[in-house]
Structure 1
Amino acid sequence: MQLAVDDRPVADVEVADTVLTRARGLLFRRALPEALLLRPCSSVHGAGMRVPLDVALLSADLAVLGTQVLRPWAVTRPRRGVTQVLEAPAGSFERWGLREGSRLALTSA
Protein backbone atom coordinates (compact mmCIF):
# COMPACT_ATOMS: atom_id res chain seq x y z
CA MET A 1 0.00 0.00 0.00
CA GLN A 2 1.01 3.60 -0.52
CA LEU A 3 0.77 6.24 2.21
CA ALA A 4 -0.21 9.81 1.33
CA VAL A 5 0.10 12.83 3.62
CA ASP A 6 -2.26 15.70 2.76
CA ASP A 7 -2.82 14.13 -0.70
CA ARG A 8 0.94 13.72 -1.42
CA PRO A 9 2.25 10.14 -1.79
CA VAL A 10 5.20 9.76 0.59
CA ALA A 11 6.00 6.10 1.33
CA ASP A 12 5.13 2.45 1.05
CA VAL A 13 3.29 1.32 4.18
CA GLU A 14 2.75 -2.09 5.75
CA VAL A 15 -0.56 -2.56 7.55
CA ALA A 16 -0.57 -4.63 10.74
CA ASP A 17 -4.21 -5.44 11.36
CA THR A 18 -4.15 -8.91 12.92
CA VAL A 19 -3.20 -9.93 16.44
CA LEU A 20 0.03 -11.51 15.19
CA THR A 21 1.14 -8.67 12.89
CA ARG A 22 0.39 -6.04 15.55
CA ALA A 23 2.23 -8.05 18.23
CA ARG A 24 5.31 -8.34 16.03
CA GLY A 25 5.25 -4.72 14.90
CA LEU A 26 8.83 -3.71 14.17
CA LEU A 27 10.48 -6.13 16.61
CA PHE A 28 13.34 -8.32 15.40
CA ARG A 29 13.57 -6.71 11.97
CA ARG A 30 16.98 -6.08 10.48
CA ALA A 31 15.59 -3.45 8.12
CA LEU A 32 12.65 -1.21 8.97
CA PRO A 33 9.84 -0.65 6.46
CA GLU A 34 9.22 2.92 5.28
CA ALA A 35 6.10 2.96 7.47
CA LEU A 36 3.97 0.61 9.56
CA LEU A 37 0.30 1.25 10.34
CA LEU A 38 -1.03 -0.60 13.39
CA ARG A 39 -4.81 -0.92 13.64
CA PRO A 40 -6.66 -1.12 15.85
CA CYS A 41 -4.12 0.38 18.23
CA SER A 42 -4.13 3.23 20.74
CA SER A 43 -0.53 3.21 22.02
CA VAL A 44 2.84 1.62 21.26
CA HIS A 45 6.08 0.82 23.05
CA GLY A 46 9.73 0.83 22.07
CA ALA A 47 10.65 -2.30 24.05
CA GLY A 48 13.33 -4.19 22.18
CA MET A 49 13.92 -1.39 19.69
CA ARG A 50 17.43 -0.10 19.09
CA VAL A 51 16.58 3.10 17.25
CA PRO A 52 14.07 5.93 17.79
CA LEU A 53 10.87 5.99 15.74
CA ASP A 54 8.51 8.69 14.55
CA VAL A 55 5.02 7.85 15.87
CA ALA A 56 1.72 9.42 14.81
CA LEU A 57 -1.46 8.86 16.81
CA LEU A 58 -4.39 8.67 14.39
CA SER A 59 -8.17 8.87 14.48
CA ALA A 60 -10.43 6.39 12.68
CA ASP A 61 -10.47 8.68 9.60
CA LEU A 62 -6.63 8.89 9.57
CA ALA A 63 -6.37 12.42 10.95
CA VAL A 64 -3.13 12.97 12.88
CA LEU A 65 -4.03 13.74 16.50
CA GLY A 66 -0.44 13.92 17.72
CA THR A 67 3.15 12.97 16.90
CA GLN A 68 6.24 12.15 18.89
CA VAL A 69 9.65 10.56 18.61
CA LEU A 70 9.55 7.27 20.49
CA ARG A 71 12.90 6.44 22.06
CA PRO A 72 13.91 2.81 22.63
CA TRP A 73 12.09 1.33 25.65
CA ALA A 74 9.68 4.30 25.90
CA VAL A 75 5.87 4.07 25.71
CA THR A 76 3.17 6.31 24.22
CA ARG A 77 0.20 7.04 26.46
CA PRO A 78 -3.26 6.08 25.27
CA ARG A 79 -5.18 9.15 24.11
CA ARG A 80 -8.88 9.70 23.56
CA GLY A 81 -9.89 9.23 19.93
CA VAL A 82 -6.76 7.30 18.87
CA THR A 83 -7.64 4.12 16.98
CA GLN A 84 -4.51 3.64 14.86
CA VAL A 85 -0.79 4.33 15.14
CA LEU A 86 1.70 5.00 12.36
CA GLU A 87 5.38 4.21 12.95
CA ALA A 88 8.32 5.17 10.74
CA PRO A 89 12.08 5.60 11.09
CA ALA A 90 12.95 8.82 12.96
CA GLY A 91 13.13 11.80 10.62
CA SER A 92 10.51 10.46 8.20
CA PHE A 93 7.70 12.74 9.38
CA GLU A 94 9.81 15.85 8.86
CA ARG A 95 10.65 14.76 5.30
CA TRP A 96 7.00 13.97 4.59
CA GLY A 97 5.61 17.15 6.15
CA LEU A 98 3.50 15.06 8.55
CA ARG A 99 2.37 16.92 11.67
CA GLU A 100 -0.61 17.20 13.98
CA GLY A 101 -3.65 18.03 11.85
CA SER A 102 -2.34 16.28 8.71
CA ARG A 103 -4.70 13.93 6.88
CA LEU A 104 -3.43 10.54 5.78
CA ALA A 105 -4.72 8.24 3.06
CA LEU A 106 -3.91 4.72 1.92
CA THR A 107 -3.98 3.68 -1.71
CA SER A 108 -3.12 0.50 -3.56
CA ALA A 109 0.43 0.66 -4.90
Structure 2
Amino acid sequence: MMISLRGCIIWDNVRLADTPWSRLRGLLGRQGMMPGEGLILTPCNQVHGFFMKFPIDLVFLDRDHYVMAIDRLDPWRISPLVRRARAVLEVPCGTAGDRIKPGDQLELASSATGGTQS
Protein backbone atom coordinates (compact mmCIF):
# COMPACT_ATOMS: atom_id res chain seq x y z
CA MET A 1 0.00 0.00 0.00
CA MET A 2 1.15 3.56 -0.70
CA ILE A 3 0.24 6.70 1.24
CA SER A 4 0.30 10.09 -0.41
CA LEU A 5 -0.70 13.68 0.27
CA ARG A 6 -2.02 15.84 -2.57
CA GLY A 7 -0.67 13.35 -5.10
CA CYS A 8 2.86 13.16 -3.62
CA ILE A 9 3.84 9.71 -2.31
CA ILE A 10 5.08 9.87 1.29
CA TRP A 11 5.34 6.19 2.25
CA ASP A 12 5.43 3.51 -0.45
CA ASN A 13 5.73 0.25 1.50
CA VAL A 14 2.89 0.22 4.03
CA ARG A 15 1.36 -2.96 5.45
CA LEU A 16 -2.16 -3.23 6.86
CA ALA A 17 -2.75 -4.77 10.29
CA ASP A 18 -6.52 -5.22 10.49
CA THR A 19 -6.91 -8.49 12.41
CA PRO A 20 -6.48 -8.96 16.16
CA TRP A 21 -3.34 -11.06 15.62
CA SER A 22 -1.71 -8.67 13.12
CA ARG A 23 -2.43 -5.68 15.39
CA LEU A 24 -1.04 -7.53 18.42
CA ARG A 25 2.14 -8.46 16.57
CA GLY A 26 2.58 -5.00 15.05
CA LEU A 27 6.30 -4.25 14.75
CA LEU A 28 7.38 -6.57 17.58
CA GLY A 29 10.59 -8.44 16.88
CA ARG A 30 11.75 -5.90 14.31
CA GLN A 31 15.13 -4.16 14.62
CA GLY A 32 13.97 -1.03 12.80
CA MET A 33 12.07 0.33 9.82
CA MET A 34 13.33 1.21 6.36
CA PRO A 35 12.59 4.59 4.73
CA GLY A 36 9.17 4.54 3.07
CA GLU A 37 7.96 1.71 5.28
CA GLY A 38 4.88 1.84 7.50
CA LEU A 39 2.20 -0.15 9.30
CA ILE A 40 -1.46 0.86 9.60
CA LEU A 41 -3.28 -0.58 12.61
CA THR A 42 -7.06 -0.47 12.24
CA PRO A 43 -9.27 -0.18 14.18
CA CYS A 44 -6.95 1.52 16.65
CA ASN A 45 -6.73 4.74 18.67
CA GLN A 46 -3.80 4.03 21.02
CA VAL A 47 -0.62 1.93 20.83
CA HIS A 48 2.23 0.92 23.10
CA GLY A 49 5.96 0.47 22.65
CA PHE A 50 6.37 -2.49 25.01
CA PHE A 51 9.14 -4.81 23.78
CA MET A 52 9.93 -2.38 20.93
CA LYS A 53 13.61 -1.84 20.13
CA PHE A 54 13.37 1.52 18.35
CA PRO A 55 11.31 4.74 18.40
CA ILE A 56 8.64 5.39 15.77
CA ASP A 57 6.38 8.21 14.64
CA LEU A 58 2.63 7.76 15.01
CA VAL A 59 -0.02 9.31 12.79
CA PHE A 60 -3.57 9.06 14.16
CA LEU A 61 -6.22 9.03 11.42
CA ASP A 62 -9.99 9.42 11.48
CA ARG A 63 -12.29 7.28 9.33
CA ASP A 64 -11.78 9.57 6.32
CA HIS A 65 -7.97 9.45 6.70
CA TYR A 66 -7.65 12.99 8.06
CA VAL A 67 -4.61 13.39 10.31
CA MET A 68 -5.86 13.96 13.86
CA ALA A 69 -2.52 13.92 15.70
CA ILE A 70 1.15 13.12 15.21
CA ASP A 71 3.32 11.81 18.03
CA ARG A 72 6.63 10.05 18.67
CA LEU A 73 6.61 6.75 20.54
CA ASP A 74 9.73 5.58 22.34
CA PRO A 75 10.27 1.96 23.41
CA TRP A 76 8.42 0.97 26.59
CA ARG A 77 6.02 3.93 26.41
CA ILE A 78 2.28 4.27 25.76
CA SER A 79 0.88 6.68 23.18
CA PRO A 80 -1.84 9.17 23.98
CA LEU A 81 -5.40 7.95 23.50
CA VAL A 82 -6.92 9.76 20.53
CA ARG A 83 -10.60 9.01 21.04
CA ARG A 84 -11.94 9.73 17.54
CA ALA A 85 -9.05 8.04 15.75
CA ARG A 86 -9.92 4.94 13.73
CA ALA A 87 -6.38 4.00 12.68
CA VAL A 88 -2.77 4.55 13.67
CA LEU A 89 -0.02 4.71 11.07
CA GLU A 90 3.39 3.69 12.43
CA VAL A 91 6.33 5.04 10.40
CA PRO A 92 10.09 5.49 10.87
CA CYS A 93 10.99 8.01 13.57
CA GLY A 94 11.43 11.52 12.20
CA THR A 95 9.48 10.99 8.97
CA ALA A 96 5.98 12.17 9.87
CA GLY A 97 6.18 15.65 11.37
CA ASP A 98 8.10 17.25 8.51
CA ARG A 99 5.78 15.87 5.79
CA ILE A 100 2.26 16.08 7.18
CA LYS A 101 0.31 18.02 9.78
CA PRO A 102 -3.00 17.63 11.63
CA GLY A 103 -5.88 18.37 9.27
CA ASP A 104 -4.19 16.90 6.19
CA GLN A 105 -6.15 14.18 4.39
CA LEU A 106 -3.97 11.25 3.38
CA GLU A 107 -4.67 9.12 0.31
CA LEU A 108 -4.24 5.35 0.63
CA ALA A 109 -3.64 3.34 -2.53
CA SER A 110 -3.14 -0.35 -3.03
CA SER A 111 0.28 -0.95 -4.59
CA ALA A 112 -1.17 -3.74 -6.74
CA THR A 113 -4.14 -1.87 -8.18
CA GLY A 114 -3.11 1.75 -7.92
CA GLY A 115 -6.63 2.57 -6.71
CA THR A 116 -6.94 5.29 -4.10
CA GLN A 117 -8.98 5.72 -0.96
CA SER A 118 -9.28 9.23 0.45
Both structures adopt the same fold (TM-score exceeding 0.5): yes
Correspondent of 1:70 among 70, 73, 94: 73
| Cα offset, 1:49, TM superposition | 1.1
For 1:35, what is the secondary structure of its paired residue?
A: strand
Equivalence for 1:90: 93
Identity, in percent, stands at 35
CA distance in 2: counterparts of 1:67 and 1:6, whole angstroms: 18
Runs of 4 or more off by more than 2 Å in structure 1? 30-33
Indicate the structure whose relative CO is greater, using CA pairs within 8 Å and at least 6 residues apart: 1
**TM-score, scaled to structure 1:** 0.90
Asked if 1 retains the 8 angstrom alpha-carbon contact of 2:57 and 2:71, the reply is yes
Report which of the two has the higher share of helix.
1
Determine if contact 1:6/1:102 at 8 Å carries over to the other structure: no
- Alignment correspondent of 1:6: 6
- Provide TM-score, normalisation by structure 2: 0.84
Aligned position for 2:104: 102
Note the aligned Cα RMSD (angstroms).
1.4
Q: Unpaired runs of 5+ in structure 2?
A: 112-118
